[in-house]
Amino acid sequence: MSERSKLLWRCRRGVKELDVVFTKFFESSYDGLKENEKKTFVRLLELEDPEILSMMLAQIESEDKDIAELVKKIRNSA
């Protein structure tokens, strides 16, 4: 399985809304990200769904500025 396929698999989440948003973002925008943004995307996927969902709904903002910026980018692409 390629690294890209593994990453796409990791976009699958327990929360359907996150599953849809991450998969759509990955397929449409991941290749255009800078290398540091790609690493940040991987770190974002390591977080728990409730925390990610709260960030995506703008209820909380990550203390990690790179993750916060990437979440904004994902939100704007949805």
Token pair for residue 34?
Answer: 């800078």
CB 14 within 8 A of CB 49: yes
Reading the chain (78 residues) residue by residue, the pLDDT tens digits are 898 899 999 999 999 999 999 999 999 999 999 999 999 999 999 999 999 999 999 999 999 999 999 999 999 987
The CATH number of residue 40's host domain is 1.10.150.250
Count of the separate structural domains present in the chain? 1
Range(s) of the domain holding residue 11? 3-77
How would you classify residue 15: left for phi > 0, otherwise alpha for psi between -120 and 50, otherwise beta?
A: beta
Q: Please state whether the predicted TM-score (pTM) of the whole model is above 0.85.
A: yes
Per-residue DSSP letter, 46: T
Question: Mapping DSSP to helix (H, G, I), strand (E, B) and coil, where does residue 16 land?
Answer: helix
Give the tens place of pLDDT for each residue, 28-48: 999 999 999 999 999 999 999
The Cβ-side half-sphere exposure at 32, using a 13 Å CA radius, reads: 9
